[in-house]
Amino acid sequence: MADYYELLQVHPKADTEAIRAAYERLRERYAPERLEGAADELVELARQRRDEIERAYHVLSDPQRRAEYDRQLQETLRPAPPTVPARSATPQLLDNDDDLIDYRPLPPARRQERPPGFNPQPYLSSRPRPELAQRGRAAPQQQPVWLLPSLIVAAATFSIVLGTLISTMVVAPAGNVATAPTATIVPPTPTLREILTQFDGQVIAAKQVADQVPDNPNAWINLGNALFDSVVYVREQLAKGDAETQRIYQERLPRWLEAVDAYRRALELQPDNDVVRADIAASLCYYGLDTNNPQRAQEGLAEAEKALEAAPQNARVLLSHGICLIAVDPPQTERALQQWRLVLSIPGVNPGLQLQAQILINEHSQ
């Protein structure tokens, strides 16, 4: 049975607005016009993704269809015997686990597909829990700390941010999911302000958790990710030429450096994390490029070179390195294109990273 929550990259308890926002973002990510001239297999992969996203949204956007889908999903995920590990995507919880789980919608995943086996119910605690290992699930310190977007911004408290948002739904007759049409449903597009409110909620939640567990590198990584996502989304909208978007982006430029600070805290705790170093590089290079600060761009390129030396076949590292090559003065466009093409040639690379590389190639080959 397809996991529609994983397809839309949201938590099973995400509210309607979060599901709609995730759908809009993914639909734009796989839009056909963004892959003009790409290899046929990538175009076909994007089409398949769009179809899957549409099917998932068709079910999850309707309360009755969603309630029936949830019932069927729970049927397929009933606890296995003690000797068989529970399904990692939606593990069965202990009775006292709810206070450790973050039930809010998942973040935008750094503009990538979730990896296979992604766990959408992570623990916020960094302390070992022996009873979890006995149930066939990894101890919490092995789980990533995902900090999830929230619609509650300045007035939100930490307890509310970590609370469970539960809506009452009417259960639909059985069989609706199997027979539901797959026709495209286009909802009202959320405004830029609505989307940014969700990103800002994510940043607030991330800061609160990082303050609570400052020795947990994942907390700082996710704070960096939250800051990165909250500004890169606005940057992606600049092509529309809207004056309001330009103004908002100028206001948010310092967040690139805030993301760098968060990633550096994580790197202090995990010195060998080459992906975090690559994220530092991308943040510095975007900031340097958009503030006409060549010193910051060169600083980012130096970090990208270190990451590339340590992980020359890592697709995330290659993507960030290419971004920095574009940001320096003069731009090293040909070398950047070579890095992104290498992402396409590496076997087993996450399809989302390949699509991102193809989009960058199309953008900078013109």
Closest to 54 in 3D by CA, of 98, 24, 82 = 24
In sign, the C-alpha dihedral spanning 307, 125, 22, 348 is positive
Closest to 247 in 3D by CA, of 207, 294, 322, 196 = 196
With a cut of 50, say whether residue 91 has pLDDT above it. Answer: no
Q: Tell which phi-psi region holds residue 241, choosing left (phi > 0), alpha (psi between -120 and 50) or beta.
A: left
- HSE on the CB side for 25, CA within 13 Å? 29
What six digits make up the tokens of 248?
């908002």
Query: What whole-number distance in Å separates Cα of residue 60 and Cα of residue 246?
Result: 34
Per-residue confidence (pLDDT) for residue 125, from 0 to 100: 38
By the 10 Å C-beta count (0-12 exposed, 13-18 middle, 19+ buried), 262 is classed as buried
Average pLDDT (27-33) is 79
In this predicted model, what pLDDT tens digit does every residue of 256-265 receive, in sequence order? 999 999 999 9
In this predicted model, what pLDDT tens digit does every residue of 100-135 receive, in sequence order? 444 444 445 554 544 444 444 444 433 333 333 333
As a whole number of Å, the end-to-end CA separation of the chain is: 42
Per-residue confidence (pLDDT) for residue 264, from 0 to 100: 95
Which of 24-28, 188-192, 315-319 comes out lowest in average pLDDT? Answer: 188-192
Q: Would you tell me how many other CB atoms lie within 10 Å of the CB of residue 196? A: 18
In this predicted model, what pLDDT tens digit does every residue of 299-332 receive, in sequence order? 999 999 999 999 999 999 999 999 999 999 999 9
Query: What whole-number distance in Å separates Cα of residue 185 and Cα of residue 173?
Result: 21
Query: What whole-number distance in Å separates Cα of residue 335 and Cα of residue 361?
Result: 11
In the chain, what are the domains?
Answer: 1-75 (1.10.287.110)
